[in-house]
Amino acid sequence: MIMVVQELLWNSVRNRPDRPAVSDRTERLRWSELGARVAATADELTDLGVRPGDRVVALAGPCVRTVVLMWAVLELGAVFVPLHPGLTRMQVDHVVNDCDARVVVADGPAGAPLAGGRRVIDLADLPRVSAAPRPRRATTSENAPALLIYTSGTTGNPKGVVCPHRQVRAAVESIGSCLGYRSDDVIACRLPLAFDYGLYQLLLAADCGAEVVIVSAAEDVRLLRIIVERGVTVVPLVPSLARMLIALHRHRPVGTVLRLVTNTGARMAPALMEEFLERFPRVQYASMYGMTECKRISILPTNEWRAHPESVGRAIPGDEILILDENGEPVGTGHPGEIVVRGRTVMSGYWGVPMEAQDRYRRALDGSVELHTGDRGRLDDTGRLFFMGRNDDIVKRHGIRISLNEIESAAERVEGVDAAVALHPSGPSESLTLCFTGPADPDSLGITLEEFLDQARAPDRIIRMDSIPLTHNAKPDRRQLENLCLGTVS
């Protein structure tokens, strides 16, 4: 049996037609209704010339219509390319050109044509009229691309990660087996659907028949109320969302039926999660590690977090984690090195880039593809992974190689520090700046950090910020923070 991604949808349509599937602040669809909308939208895309293998760019925010579009694109055997609507025109043009998009669908008026004269279809113009849901209309290979997800491009133009049906299905199966999503779960997704962490909530929900409640940024002040009113049981978190829910609960404490929260993409300080769990005591927390290039790498069982709060878990089923030194040789247990992943969730590479020219993906001796993450970590004797930062965040100070992640983690253990980001020095002799949010006094924080950090790791400057700027995917925006700090210092 060919296991393609869209079968997740049709299985839930057949098995749970009258159960809620997805909702936003304007509409709510059952699985049968979602299937009907998908079929009608697929017909419309066919009329627009979309064929199997074509790339369809979705420049749209998280909403039910975007969900329908994703499933319709997959139903046609085409490739779904999600983009954040906040991207600049130059960034969008790059992606549209790079993937040679057949159609661009945007959430709003079409406006001027994009790169190559491609016209933009308004998401609102796609049909809402129901059609009889049909099974797969295109014969799709498991090895064909299902998704093309562009990375943030912090070191240049973004690159599209090719995500074939086989690997996407493998990731859904492995993550689902670790997290245990259930058919009676209600998942509140406040993440962008252009962020694979958000996008996969739709796939995980379809796999088990759960409901996804899509929450927009405009509803942030109501997020806790939505969780209560909709009976939300699962929330995929990032640190900024955890802080938001803590603040909302502090303002108006309420009971919830939350049972599970997760985190990936940005480091969750143990102290922050401790405070979250104090306010939501029935909740279990799964710490995870991954990257778009292979979706998920490791998940820590919920019952191990309190004993190992710094760990991001063991390799998910079907994958293997290696820790290699600078010469590509395995290191011993407990020793740091580069995190390398092999297994069934490793995606097939970057769009349009020959394998020999790829920096992350490399062909192993047995012909399989390995992912060299560029991240540093270590494994304990049970296979638990401890993330130590990116290779880009390893700097040399006073003749010692240090990780900026070490400094941030130390600061976030201090009372009065909500979040901390250490900025990359421009050279070995340049000063090291630590930015933080929270009520702590910068001078007192510096004195406290002297107890935890040696001279090579101690920051030269500590700046308290009102907030840490975030990227579209809710990760710290280091470039913007550096610019803000330059202004603060001057």
pLDDT tens by residue, 181-213: 999 999 999 999 999 999 999 999 999 999 999
Please work out, in degrees rounded to the nearest 5, the angle formed at the alpha carbon of residue 169 by the alpha carbons of 165 and 174.
Answer: 150
> Which residue shows structure tokens 């700027």?
469
165-183: pLDDT as tens digits? 999 999 999 999 999 999 9
Q: What is the DSSP letter of 135?
A: S
Is residue 290 situated within a structural domain?
no
Instruction: Give the pairing of strands 319-324 and 337-343.
Output: antiparallel
Instruction: Give the pairing of strands 211-214 and 120-122.
Output: unpaired
Helix, coil or strand: residue 141: coil
- Residue type, position 107, single letter: D
User: What's residue 421's pLDDT?
Assistant: 92
- Residue type, position 1, single letter: M
CATH of the domain at 478: 3.30.300.30
Is residue 76 situated within a structural domain?
yes
Gap between the Cα atoms of 95 and 58, Å rounded: 11
Output 33-36 pairs: Cβ under 8 A, ≥24 positions apart: 33/130, 34/9, 34/67, 34/68, 34/71, 35/9, 35/10, 35/133, 36/130, 36/131, 36/132, 36/133
Would you call 149 exposed, middle or buried from its count of C-beta atoms within 10 A (0-12, 13-18, 19+)? buried
Kindly report the number of other CB atoms within 10 A of residue 388's CB atom: 20
What is the arithmetic mean of pLDDT over 411-428? 85
What is the arithmetic mean of pLDDT over 215-228? 96
Would you call 275 exposed, middle or buried from its count of C-beta atoms within 10 A (0-12, 13-18, 19+)? middle
Please say if the pLDDT value at position 490 is more than 60.
no
Is residue 78 situated within a structural domain?
yes
Buried b / exposed e across 77-98, counting CB within 10 Å, b at 16+? bbbbbbbbbebeeebbebbbeb
Is residue 255 situated within a structural domain?
no
248-305: pLDDT as tens digits? 999 999 999 999 999 998 889 898 999 999 999 999 999 999 999 999 999 999 999 9
Is residue 73 situated within a structural domain?
yes
Interacting residues of 183 by C-beta distance below 8 A, sequence separation 6+? 16, 19, 208, 209, 210
Would you call 110 exposed, middle or buried from its count of C-beta atoms within 10 A (0-12, 13-18, 19+)? middle
User: What's residue 451's pLDDT?
Assistant: 87
Range of the domain at 28: 1-164
What confidence tier does 72 reach under pLDDT thresholds 50, 70, 90?
A: very high
HSE, side-chain direction, 13 A CA sphere, residue 352: 10
User: What's residue 489's pLDDT?
Assistant: 47
Look at residues 164, 191, 219 and tell me which one is the last residue of a structural domain.
164
Count: domains in the chain: 2
Please say if the pLDDT value at position 409 is more than 80.
yes
Is residue 42 situated within a structural domain?
yes
Q: What is the DSSP letter of 302?
A: G
The answer to whether 310 and 343 have CB atoms below 8 angstroms apart is: no
User: What's residue 429's pLDDT?
Assistant: 58
Gap between the Cα atoms of 487 and 475, Å rounded: 21
Helices (H), 181-222: 196-208
Is residue 132 situated within a structural domain?
yes
Is residue 32 situated within a structural domain?
yes
Gap between the Cα atoms of 78 and 384, Å rounded: 38
> First CA to last CA across the chain, in angstroms?
64
What integer best gives the mean pLDDT of the chain? 90
Look at residues 164, 189, 214 and tell me which one is the last residue of a structural domain.
164
Token representation of residue 218: 């405009």
- Residue type, position 53, single letter: G
Look at residues 120, 143, 164 and tell me which one is the last residue of a structural domain.
164
CATH of the domain at 17: 3.40.50.980
The answer to whether 481 and 423 have CB atoms below 8 angstroms apart is: yes
Gap between the Cα atoms of 415 and 286, Å rounded: 24
Kindly report the number of other CB atoms within 10 A of residue 105's CB atom: 26
Token representation of residue 483: 């610019």
E strands in 198-283: 211-214, 234-237, 260-263
